[in-house]
Amino acid sequence: MRIRRPFELELDYVRNMMAWLLFMAPPRDVLQLGLGAGALTKWSWRFLPPTRVTAVEASAGVIAACHQWFALPPPDERLRLVCADAGEFVARPRERGRYGVVQVDVYDRDARGPVLDSLAFYRDCRRCLASPGMLVVNLFGGDHRSFTENLERIVEVFDSQVLVLPPVAAGNLVVLAFSGPPLSVDSDDLFARADYLEKQWRLPGPAWAEALRHAIPGV
Q: What b/e string do you get for 186-198 counting C-beta neighbours within 10 Å, with b at 16 or more?
A: eeeebbebbeebb
Who's near 146: CB < 8 A, 6+ residues apart?
Answer: 112, 113, 114, 117, 139, 140
Closest residue by Cα to residue 44 from 91, 69, 81, 94:
81
How far apart are the C-alpha atoms of 19 and 11, rounded to whole Å?
Answer: 14
How far apart are the C-alpha atoms of 148 and 101, rounded to whole Å?
Answer: 23
Q: Is 76 a catalytic residue?
A: no
How far apart are the C-alpha atoms of 204 and 206, rounded to whole Å?
Answer: 6
Q: H or E stretch including 100?
A: strand 99-104
CA atoms within 13 A on the CB side of 17: 27
The single residue of 29, 105, 117, 124 carrying the catalytic annotation is 105
Residue type, 127: R
Asked if 146 and 172 touch (Cβ cutoff 8 Å), the reply is no
Instruction: Tell me 49's DSSP state.
Output: T
Active site residues: 105
